[in-house]
Amino acid sequence: MAHGRPVSFGRYIFWGVISVLVAAFLAWAFVPNAVPVDVSTVEVGPMTVRVEGEGRTRVKDIYAISAPVAGRLMRIEAEAGDPVVAGQTRLAVIEPADPTILDSRTRAEAEATAQAAEETLALASADVERARAELGFARAELYRARKLSQNGTISQRALDVAKLEAATRAAEVKSAEATRKVREHELQTARARLLTPTSDGADGQCCVAIAAPIDGQVLRVLHESAGVVGAGEALMELGNPRHLEVVVDVLTSDAARIREGAEVVIENWGGQPLKGIVRRIEPFGYTKVSVLGIEEQRVDVIIDFADPAALPAALGHGFRVEVGINAWHGEGVLKAPMSALFRVEGGWGVFVMENGKARLARLEVGHMNGREAEVLGGLSAGEAVVLHPSDRISDQVSLVRREK
């Protein structure tokens, strides 16, 4: 039997234990940790799809009061919010406008025209005097002709000639007097052109008073101060602030899903939410540029308040509101939170948490409202889906519920 060095089994055992510990450490180090996630349960219940947008309130029937004639508007004393009574409340008064200021050339022309009118009037007056003198002579001749005709001194024809002459002269007097009146009016017109804003003579001029056409309130005063206005210029707006409606512009693609009579929730106007009903969808659209500079086709939707008699007194014309129009509603709908959905190969998918593992489930989705999605297939009620899945999650990855 050969003799050699003794075998040290303790050393082999030591290194064997070390190798096992190292292997265990490496296995533990490379095993992926469970990803903490938030989960939500797929439920069955009611679901509503709303078209949301920003709108404003407005009085249904606004009466724009304008100046019926051109003139000088007296200062309007009415203020926004003042009550008015139809046919009794005087809204505004318009006086005749002052004459314009004449420059030196225009004034010289007007003075020359007035002087010429004076001379023409004097000539017309002289014609009247001449005509009256000729009429007196013709009547005297007629008187003598009648005397001579009675004695048979002159013929009947001579008497008729005297009568014709007297009648002709009487007609000439009337014509001359009418001409003189015309010249008097021409002189007045010429002198009127010389009037200036400081000239007297405005006393007794009539005014035009504008009365309220309806019972309501003053909404806006557009021309408060006194001044010259033209015919048809807007002065103020009237209306009944209790007869309100809401107008909201929505995308034409959203408007196609809205029906007249749909229920509406009106919020963020400064008080409690109010209920409304869609009365009309305007039949034409228009182009509007969004805040991002994108051209959008939009259409106005008109909404009535469901209970006009209960409108808050604080709500008025031109208030900004946010509305949610019910475009679709369903009961007993299987629904999942939109925050759990993500795109998968052109469709929708979610991660379902089963026994601490992630399972990729592809979904068939129906209606969506921004918070929830209608699930038509791929999930069952009660299953837990991962909310806001990150890129760390994939099929069969270990999951753990995040502590709240």
Q: Do 279 and 302 belong together in one domain?
A: yes
Q: Do 247 and 331 belong together in one domain?
A: yes
Tell me, what's the pLDDT at 150?
84
Q: Do 83 and 177 belong together in one domain?
A: no
Q: Do 227 and 124 belong together in one domain?
A: no
We report the CATH number of the domain holding residue 326 as 2.40.30.170
Q: Do 131 and 183 belong together in one domain?
A: yes
Q: Do 93 and 168 belong together in one domain?
A: no
DSSP conformational letter for 398: B
Tell me, what's the pLDDT at 313?
86
Q: How far is CA 355 from the centre of its chain?
A: 59
Domain limits at 69? 64-97+203-239
Tell me, what's the pLDDT at 197?
61
250: left (phi over 0), alpha (psi -120 to 50) or beta: beta
Contact yes or no for 293/284 (Cβ under 8 A) = no
Q: Regarding predicted confidence, which is higher, 192 or 2? A: 192
Q: Do 273 and 312 belong together in one domain?
A: yes
We report the CATH number of the domain holding residue 227 as 2.40.50.100
DSSP conformational letter for 402: P
Contact yes or no for 248/100 (Cβ under 8 A) = no
Give pTM, 2 decimals.
Answer: 0.60
Q: Do 180 and 324 belong together in one domain?
A: no
Give the tens place of pLDDT for each residue, 60-108. Answer: 989 999 999 888 899 999 998 899 999 999 999 998 877 777 778 887 8
- Region 280-297: mean pLDDT is 91
E-state strands within 268-383: 274-281, 286-289, 295-305, 320-337, 342-344, 347-354, 357-368, 372-377
Contacts of 72 (CB under 8 A, 6+ apart): 94, 95, 96, 97, 98, 226, 227, 228, 229
Is a pLDDT exceeding 60 seen at residue 4? no
Contact yes or no for 323/293 (Cβ under 8 A) = no
Tell me, what's the pLDDT at 143?
86
**Domain tally for the chain?**
3
Q: Do 259 and 395 belong together in one domain?
A: yes
Share of the chain above pLDDT 90, in %: 46
Q: Do 269 and 350 belong together in one domain?
A: yes
Q: Do 123 and 254 belong together in one domain?
A: no
Among 163, 192, 221, identify where a domain stops: 192
Q: Do 267 and 335 belong together in one domain?
A: yes
> Does residue 384 sit within a domain?
yes
